[in-house]
Structure 1
Amino acid sequence: MRISPVGRARLAAIGLALLAGIPARAEPPAYVGTESCAGCHAAETEAWRGSHHDLAWTLPGEPHLLGAFDDAVFVHRGQRTRFTRENGAPAIETQGADGALRRFPVAGVAGIAPLQQYLLETEPGRLQSFDVTWDAERGRWYHLYPDLDLPPGDGLHWTGPYKNWNARCAECHATGYEKAYDPATRRYASHEAEIGVGCEACHGPGEAHLAWSANPPGHDPSRWPGTDARGFTAPFPRADAEAEIQQCAGCHSRREPLSDASPLPGTPFHDAYRLALLTEGLYHADGTIQDEVYVYGSFLQSKMYGKGVRCSDCHDPHRAALRVDGNATCTQCHSPAGNDRFSSLRKALYDDPAHHFHEAGTPGALCVSCHMVERVYMGIDGRRDHSFRVPRPDLGAGTGAPDACTDCHEGRGQDWAAAEIARRFPQSDHRGRHFSEAFAAARADAASAAELLLDIATSETMPGIVRATALDLLARATDERIAADASPVLADPDPLVRTAAIAVQRGAAPGPRAERLAPLLSDPARVVRITAARDMLSLPADSLPLAATGALSGAMEEWRVSLFGRADFPETQMVLGGVGLTTQNWRGAEAAFREAVELDPQLVDAWVMIARIRAGLGDPGEARRVIDRALAANPDDPMLAEARRALAAPPAQ
């Protein structure tokens, strides 16, 4: 991680500077490139070439450039974009951050199908994902957000922070990536071992494995601590499905990174990321996908995950495609023959109209139509839910959740669908209470569902991500009794559950709360340690057991490093501002909120906090100027208008 002296000073100003003296660690093996693997692993390399992994990020040359850069013009809400060539190289002429029309050479290409995005370098080292995208199936240009007006200066404009490739996308489209953002200059010096998802993105850097392959009997694994006998950092043993799943999950999940670089392959997921739970806006109350959450959060809900099914049972990781097409993927296990790996699986004929009640060969006869609902993201990209749930239209009226039946049968209601399922499967055990009923109630009023949430959180049979979500909702209604009743799950085997349980302890008195959280400062999972340290900020300094002060210092350091790695995220600056408020470091809080609105002028809450801090520090004139600048960026915002009226009023006598 590159940290300039000015960058250190900026973080010091808000009380979160990185401490010196981080213990040195052994260097991992070096990355050697995919071509170094091809000689021995020819079949795997051949399968990988041309795959979505291979072409996740390429340079803008032929044959991978699909878009029509032939002076095509695309107009969106009055903004004109032209796709052209400059000395034979593709370029895009469009409105830049300042509103002026500029020509940007295409610096990179993302993806191959069903759409292809183009990366533009707006300043040295900064790559932005352009919003007008090539539809590879229909051969046309289209806008990712056709219903939105995103002018220059908006955080969601293609030049804004949320479309930054370095921070938001590159890690999962590259091998051995390091973001290298300097918060002092707001510049990137990003680099990677290889663009595209190559062999080492999953198996780990290959230097040690090459050494082993050259001389297996003489190989010394101790030269590279953390590697196995063949030199891998991520060996994927057949007996350990979790190692493979967590490696895939690093990219195939909605999550928050805990550093500014690709974790070394083989790093446990919860040491590298904070997974998004089944929260409102991301998932429906029943856990089905809503926003673009990718796969891991869905899969964790499934019985298949609980039984040890791994990603590569269905997907060929080298081709980045299903191993077999259609229902054959499912009938590898769900058939009269079953699968010897899964002894509890009922052997029966599923690929038959007697089970699915649809004509063979029609979409309704596909297993995925009922058990993996599809949602479309990025305009044309269909993604399937991986929770493999049984349709429950009977829950829809109470939870607002959709269902697979009425997804297809337009014009039919959920009451009709529920009655049809009850008629066709009268003896089904997929009836009765469901966690979605508690989640739907808690989203409206957590206190009204507190007991149900507590039952889910302490269940021994519910999936971990469901239990963690129950705890996340329960934290809104916590009190001393709830905190005490939920305290046993602080020692749960699942890091997701332990992490979510921490906030529930805010209902406890400072002494018991500190005593319960102290062991988590030394938790095996980094995300748990960081979350516990963050929660300790609101506790009185004398409430922490003396024996835990060393662990607190270490966990706080991990949190500081994590925050620095995301200093280019407006969301991180909001967190830093909150830390400043909690610790009464008003100047530090103000600096963080000002950085937040510099990155995203639409963060109204940050503008208001800056004005309140200035007013509280006895500078009402600057407070008014802050709100005026905020209104210039957000002219119709009622909160800002009210803040301006309040600042204009004479002080109370």
Structure 2
Amino acid sequence: MRPFLLPAILLACLAGTFARAQAESGGYVGSDSCTGCHEAETAAWERSHHAAAWTEASAENIRADFGGTSFDLGAMHAAFGIAADGTRQVTVTELDGSVTQYDVQSVVGIEPLQQYLLETGEGRRQSFDVVWDTEAGRWFHLYPDQSLAPADALHWSGPYKNWDGRCAVCHATDFAANYDPATRSYAATQSEIGVGCEACHGPGQAHLDWARDWETTQEPMPAAGGFPNDPSAPGAFMDTCGGCHSRREAYQDSSPLPGTPYHDAYNLAQLRPGLYWPDGQIRDEVYVLGSFLQSKMHEKGVTCTNCHDAHSGERLTEDNSLCTQCHSPAGNPDFPSLPLQVFDAPEHHHHPEGSPGAQCRACHMPEQVYMGNDARADHSFRVPRPDLSAETGAPDACTACHDDRSPAWAADILEDWFPDSTHRGPHFGQILARGTADPAAAAGDLALLARSEEPGIVRATALWMLGQGGGQAAADAVAGLLQDPDPMVRAAAVDAQRGASAQAQAERLAGLLDDPSRNVRIAAAKAMLALPVARFPDAIAQDLRRAQGDWQAAMQARLGFPETHLQIGGMALTMRNFPAALQAFGEVTDLDPQHVDAWVMQARLAAALEGPEAARHVLDRAVSANPGDLALAGMLSQLDGTGPRLTPPPQ
């Protein structure tokens, strides 16, 4: 075992001996401290979805009808009532026949749906899947195709629906989850529930002190008002807004200090299959940032507050004037590259004035419905490309409305309307579609895409695909991107080096172990762990220890997640620490009994370490949790001698 590595991370994580990360709450004063001086901003914020992101379970905050209503999904029955003291309650009859009454602990959101948190035990707040449609005035289930028993990890009471681990950090100010692996519970803290002033500006004590003393001192306002973050600064939107308005992996279990560089706090999801369509359109619930980073508007310096009020979150206008503040014959001097022409007219949009199709966002920001009734717009501001649908499988804005027509029909219409369009050339989606199907066959084009002038998130996705099967030539071709200015590209370029020789990887990646971005350091640490190198020079070994410390802290922050222990198990296998790997995969299935891959790894490890009977014991438990699973049944047949011999993991 390499002496510079820290194998103790595995056992310490699994035993829960790490000190839990704590939010630095010093200096937070609460939004109520801001209202006296900032009346207009307060009035705007009070009507915002930020203020209502998480509220107490009071009658005035709850919009749902708890007066004897109910909801059924298969054999699951939820009855909603009000106790004598006014407490809202939910009585749930589960598929296994158990009946439990819960008090509503707190309230999430305000419209178009409202969700309720139920506490299933001390330190276990869970997001109930039956929610209230505030527009239709009815109950509905977020996952109507899932009728699950409490033993299923995807049940509303399971680890994937835990509020403090999965959701709360973006619904609170100065939040810390404080997970305890020993009890598998949380002791969460926050300065304020809801997204308050300090969630964006940072702790306000210094600003409050300056304001209190100003009449005496007459000192000028310090930079950013004395706050650690200035959300209005150029480029600050990604760090201020992006953390919550993105699909990402967090590196700590608490709210980053506002203003923390995004890639020091998070690993942004790329345009991977299942999350996005190959052309970059939203598919799964990816929120906004990943889309906006693809846009020409982002490239030209447009930010959130060009379209949204900073304090209410509302659009500045609700009609096309929001777009024509820039896209018009008058233009906007802040964005001088814009073409000065008429867009808000039938000669451009080719729809009747005032009709839904005449709205700019109908074509350039098509919506996708998430959480049952919440329509969210794609923020990549793309030009519709129905001509690509056959290659990418992606939807298009035209046939989303004209659902009785085909993409080919829409492509012909657009060619007739815009015969001289420059938007019908090659598109990165064509390459990503081929890369999704066969990264090795598309390696040359993926390498070209990674070195192109496309947005960083597109190039990073191409690099990740190269890492799935690009080979030595592709790794060599993109090695220069390890020094790219974009930290997302640098981190993904690490993935692309998998096809290079171990020596080349070691030489190329060593310099990234002290990269300014935590995201890049962690990517390099993961890659270096897998290299068959007995010992590194002292300077590199020190950088590697520090980078692995970043990785260790990131895993520590997510010990309540089954997927974290899957990662720990893989790390233990790499280090040939098979007992630690067995323990990690065991924690995966304790948290998520339906995780078949983790059961398979446990059985293989048990067979190698303890013999066939130990493997049989694992498989009996696995089959009990996953009856009818073919992979598990096949492993049992191996033990019974009716199938191929059960083999241990690779060594």
Q: Same fold (TM over 0.5)?
A: yes
CA contact (8 A) 1:359 1:365 kept: yes
Q: Cα deviations across residues 568-615 of structure 1 (Å, max 9, x unaligned)?
A: 001101000101111111110011111111111110000010010000
Q: Where in structure 2 are there 5+ consecutive unaligned residues?
A: 1-7, 647-651
CA contact (8 A) 2:525 2:551 kept: yes
State the AA in 2 paired with 1:435: F
Residue 99 of structure 1 deviates from its aligned partner by 5.4
Residue 546 of structure 1 deviates from its aligned partner by 3.6
Kindly report which structure 2 residues correspond to 1:156-171, keeping only aligned pairs within 5 A, or say none.
156-171=154-169
Q: 1:13 & 1:435 partners in 2: Cα distance?
A: 41
1:377 aligns with 2:370: yes
Q: Cα deviations across residues 295-325 of structure 1 (Å, max 9, x unaligned)?
A: 0000000000000000011011211210111
Residue 543 of structure 1 deviates from its aligned partner by 6.1
State the AA in 2 paired with 1:201: A
Residue 220 of structure 1 deviates from its aligned partner by 10
Where does residue 191 of structure 1 map in the other structure?
Answer: 189
CA contact (8 A) 2:75 2:94 kept: no
1:263 aligns with 2:256: yes
Q: Percent identity?
A: 51
Deviates more, 1:616-625 or 1:281-290: 616-625
Summarize the Cα distance change of 1:580–1:415 in structure 2 as closer, same or farther, 3 Å threshold.
Answer: same
Give SS of 1:117's match.
strand
1:67 aligns with 2:64: yes
Summarize the Cα distance change of 1:560–1:95 in structure 2 as closer, same or farther, 3 Å threshold.
Answer: farther
Q: Cα deviations across residues 339-398 of structure 1 (Å, max 9, x unaligned)?
A: 110010111111101000000111100001100010001110001100000000111111
Residue 142 of structure 1 deviates from its aligned partner by 0.6
CA contact (8 A) 2:365 2:382 kept: yes
Count of aligned pairs between the two proteins: 635
State the AA in 2 paired with 1:68: D
1:585 aligns with 2:577: yes
Where does residue 94 of structure 1 map in the other structure?
Answer: 92
State the AA in 2 paired with 1:442: G
Residue 433 of structure 1 deviates from its aligned partner by 0.7
Residue 27 of structure 1 deviates from its aligned partner by 6.7
Give SS of 1:376's match.
strand
Residue 105 of structure 1 deviates from its aligned partner by 0.2
Residue 155 of structure 1 deviates from its aligned partner by 1.2
State the AA in 2 paired with 1:173: H
Kindly report which structure 2 residues correspond to 1:27-176, keeping only aligned pairs within 5 A, or say none.
29-87=26-84, 88-95=86-93, 100-176=98-174
Q: 2:618 & 2:83 partners in 1: Cα distance?
A: 43
Where does residue 506 of structure 1 map in the other structure?
Answer: 498
State the AA in 2 paired with 1:74: F
Q: 1:624 & 1:598 partners in 2: Cα distance?
A: 17
Give SS of 1:315's match.
coil
Q: 2:261 & 2:605 partners in 1: Cα distance?
A: 41
Residue 218 of structure 1 deviates from its aligned partner by 5.7
Give SS of 1:318's match.
coil
Q: 2:23 & 2:91 partners in 1: Cα distance?
A: 47
Q: 2:37 & 2:445 partners in 1: Cα distance?
A: 56
Summarize the Cα distance change of 1:26–1:616 in structure 2 as closer, same or farther, 3 Å threshold.
Answer: closer
Residue 402 of structure 1 deviates from its aligned partner by 0.9
Residue 214 of structure 1 deviates from its aligned partner by 2.3
RMSD over aligned CA atoms reads 2.3
1:479 aligns with 2:471: yes
State the AA in 2 paired with 1:522: D
Kindly report which structure 2 residues correspond to 1:231-246, keeping only aligned pairs within 5 A, or say none.
231-238=226-233, 240=234, 242-246=235-239
Q: 1:638 & 1:219 partners in 2: Cα distance?
A: 75
Residue 11 of structure 1 deviates from its aligned partner by 3.5
Residue 237 of structure 1 deviates from its aligned partner by 4.5
Q: 1:305 & 1:552 partners in 2: Cα distance?
A: 35
1:403 aligns with 2:396: yes
Q: 1:171 & 1:424 partners in 2: Cα distance?
A: 47
Give SS of 2:115's match.
strand
Q: 1:452 & 1:417 partners in 2: Cα distance?
A: 28
State the AA in 1 paired with 2:110: I
Residue 149 of structure 1 deviates from its aligned partner by 2.0
Give SS of 1:261's match.
coil
Q: 2:18 & 2:485 partners in 1: Cα distance?
A: 31
Summarize the Cα distance change of 1:237–1:106 in structure 2 as closer, same or farther, 3 Å threshold.
Answer: closer
Residue 125 of structure 1 deviates from its aligned partner by 2.0
Q: 1:545 & 1:343 partners in 2: Cα distance?
A: 52
Residue 16 of structure 1 deviates from its aligned partner by 10
Q: 1:444 & 1:143 partners in 2: Cα distance?
A: 34
Kindly report which structure 2 residues correspond to 1:233-632, keeping only aligned pairs within 5 A, or say none.
233-238=228-233, 240=234, 242-459=235-452, 461-542=453-534, 544-632=536-624
Q: Cα deviations across residues 107-158 of structure 1 (Å, max 9, x unaligned)?
A: 0100000000000011112110000100000000111111122211111101
> What TM-score results when the alignment is normalised by the length of structure 2?
0.94
Q: Cα deviations across residues 417-462 of structure 1 (Å, max 9, x unaligned)?
A: 1111111101111011111111111111111111110001011x21
> What TM-score results when the alignment is normalised by the length of structure 1?
0.94
Where does residue 649 of structure 2 map in the other structure?
Answer: none
CA contact (8 A) 1:29 1:208 kept: no
Q: 2:23 & 2:637 partners in 1: Cα distance?
A: 59
Where does residue 637 of structure 2 map in the other structure?
Answer: 645
Q: Where in structure 1 are there 5+ consecutive unaligned residues?
A: 1-7, 222-226
Summarize the Cα distance change of 1:582–1:128 in structure 2 as closer, same or farther, 3 Å threshold.
Answer: same
State the AA in 2 paired with 1:165: W
Q: 1:405 & 1:97 partners in 2: Cα distance?
A: 42
State the AA in 1 paired with 2:71: F
Summarize the Cα distance change of 1:17–1:306 in structure 2 as closer, same or farther, 3 Å threshold.
Answer: farther
Summarize the Cα distance change of 1:501–1:97 in structure 2 as closer, same or farther, 3 Å threshold.
Answer: farther
Give SS of 1:246's match.
helix
Residue 652 of structure 1 deviates from its aligned partner by 6.7
Residue 9 of structure 1 deviates from its aligned partner by 9.4
CA contact (8 A) 1:521 1:532 kept: yes
Q: Cα deviations across residues 225-261 of structure 1 (Å, max 9, x unaligned)?
A: xx946311111344x1x11232100100000100010
Residue 503 of structure 1 deviates from its aligned partner by 1.2
Q: Cα deviations across residues 461-505 of structure 1 (Å, max 9, x unaligned)?
A: 210000000001111122222211111000000011011110111
Summarize the Cα distance change of 1:15–1:543 in structure 2 as closer, same or farther, 3 Å threshold.
Answer: farther
Residue 406 of structure 1 deviates from its aligned partner by 0.6
Q: 2:13 & 2:168 partners in 1: Cα distance?
A: 30
